[in-house]
Amino acid sequence: MTNDSPLPENHAFSKEATQRSAKAGGITLNYYEATPDVQPSTVGGGLPLVMLHGGGPGASAWSNFGPALPHFAAHFRTLLVDQPGFGASDKPEVVGNYYRHAADHVVALLDELGIAKVHLLGNSLGGGTAMRLALTYPERVGRLVLMGPGGLSLNLFHADPTEGVQRLMDFGADPTRESLRAFISTMVVDQSLVTDELVEERFADATAPGAQDAMRSMGMSFWNPETAEDGMLWREAHRLRKHTLLTWGREDRVNPLDGAMVALKLIPKAQLHVFPNCGHWAQIEAAAEFAEITTAFLSRHVERPPREPKG
């Protein structure tokens, strides 16, 4: 059994009805957008919410956050973005470290859409992108929710690579349904969530044209000595001045819980929420609780007007 009941399905927020695309710094990014019925929303200072998915085989904005869209769109203008190289977004070769590469393209997307400032919610790889974006473009970010974030997580006791990362590498070397199932199994405590349908859906996306080349390019940006250090976001955590909610599954086998401690210590405005009996996909295994906690955190944001210059 999962920790709580999943969020209710709402067919008004279907994948087809919410899908959009736009230019973003020379490439096209795919995203899904929905807004509150009452306009304009003043929750969380009236800022939109951008949600950034993880980086496993077949990952996409919809696979990570599609079921959660109705809840968040009831409170915020919500955009689920396929990061470069994933989902239906373009798959260019990664320039520099992936977090910076993706963050720059997400900001270009916001520019294209005329959005000045957002809240960011990122899972795993998307957490790293969100962190890099907030460090590089602090004026574009309200609050951060980071779920077992890549780059910021620093394993104090667990070996590297972790079990989940090793299974990810195994799929890259041998992209079969069996190796994909082994990877997905490390994402969750509740193994009933690892269905044949999920494996088939993710396998189709993971082996789509260009997907494996994009995964290799992304992965090399964390192994190449010239670009890897830029992805060690924990070294810059002390510079982050945003209110930050770190969320972790207690049984996370990808970025284990001990990886949260350095970030919690270094980020001045950080707090940590741990979900019991939960792995790397808190938004799925603890769906209702995750939605409740993150919405409350984001809703506390107050957008203050800019200071008048001294005469």
The model's pLDDT over 126-171, given as tens digits with 9 standing for 90+, comes to: 999 999 999 999 999 999 999 999 999 999 999 999 999 999 999 9
pLDDT per residue as tens digits for the range 184-208: 999 999 999 999 999 999 999 999 9
Distance (Å, rounded) from C-alpha 177 to C-alpha 182? Answer: 9
Inform me whether the pLDDT recorded for 291 exceeds 90.
Answer: yes
> Known catalytic residues?
280
Helix extents (H) in the chain? 15-18, 61-65, 69-73, 98-113, 125-136, 163-173, 177-185, 196-206, 211-223, 225-228, 261-266, 282-285, 287-299
Structure tokens at 230: 């830029």
Return d(Cα 300, Cα 257) in angstroms, integer. 26
pLDDT in tens, 101-131: 999 999 999 999 999 999 999 999 999 999 9
The two structure tokens encoding residue 139: 């004026």
DSSP for residue 113: H
Return the pLDDT at 41: 81
Task: Reply yes or no on whether the pLDDT at 1 is more than 50.
Answer: no
Please, which pLDDT band fits residue 38 given cuts at 50, 70 and 90? confident
As a whole number, mean pLDDT of residues 47-72 equals 97
